[in-house]
Amino acid sequence: MIFYDCPTAPSPRRARMFIAEKGLKIETRDIDLRNDEHRGAAFLAINPRATVPVLVTEGGQVLSENIAIATYLEAEFPTPPLLGEGAEEKAAVAMWNAICEAQGGMSIAEALRNSSPAMKGRALPGHLDYAQIPELAARGLVKIDVFFETLEARLQESPWLASGRFTMADITGFVFCDFARVVRKRIPETSEATQSWFAAIKQRPSAGL
């Protein structure tokens, strides 16, 4: 297998953490997003949508979405289970992962990509140019606050986002909480449950990669 990564971006970090939590060592190639390597012919031949992470499986299948990479690795390497066991836990992982993507990941991407001078013309990831929309950046900042509220309400009733143990949903939530710093947002100090949860994940070896 080959894992296409980028050390500065949150989406590949999610896959990197997932791989590390599975205890896997996968041949990794860094793609230099800042210098547009993802839009060059070599990488477009692998993923025409020009996004990372990508996992190319032993069988040559090209997986270009975090949920696809996680689904593949969970099926091939079930231990430890990171997508849950049994219908209820599996569903809870899927739900909280999706909520963190929509409320967290999307909001930070909107705030960053529609405001950063370095991302002018690059308001969306991928191979196509989209102009920045300043109002969307402002809306993203508001939505990040909603994301933090959602997490705190959930973590006041559950030690981990999906269930009683660490899962992919926690990876997704953690990565986006951490990445919010790029738009000067942090977990509110009053969000005590979220602060504790974040600190616990930060100590895991996978978080330091």
Amino acid identity, residue 145?
A: D
Q: Which of 8, 76, 80, 199 binds a copy of itself (CB under 8 A)?
A: 76
Q: Which two tokens stand for residue 190?
A: 């009053």
Options 15-23, 25-33, 143-151, 171-179: segment touching a copy of itself (CB under 8 A): 143-151
Asked if 136 is part of the footprint of a copy of itself (rule: CB under 8 A), the reply reads yes
Our CB check for a copy of itself shows the closer of 104 and 207 to be 104
- H/E element, 27: strand 27-30
72 contacts a copy of itself (rule: CB under 8 A): yes
Could you give the angle at which helices 86-99 and 168-179 cross, rounded to 10 degrees?
A: 10
Integer CA distances (angstroms), 142 to 117, 119, 153, in order: 20, 20, 17
Q: Does 158 bind a copy of itself (CB under 8 A)?
A: no
Min CB(30)–a copy of itself separation in Å: 22
User: Which tokens hold the place of 76?
Assistant: 């091939």
CA distances from 45 to 5, 6, 49, 99 (A): 16, 18, 10, 32
Site mask for a copy of itself (CB under 8 A), range 90-119, x = bound = xxxxxx-xxx--------------------
Region of residue 137 (left: phi > 0; alpha: psi -120 to 50; beta: else): alpha
Among 2, 46, 68, 119, binds a copy of itself (CB under 8 A): 68
Q: Taking CB under 8 A as the rule, which mask of x and - marks residues 22-61 in contact with a copy of itself? A: --------------------------xx-------x-x-x
Asked if residues 207 and 198 have their Cβ atoms less than 8 Å apart, the reply is no
Interface with a copy of itself (CB under 8 A): 48-49, 57, 59, 61, 63-65, 67-72, 75-76, 86-88, 90-95, 97-99, 123-124, 128, 130-131, 133, 135-136, 139, 142-143, 146, 150, 153
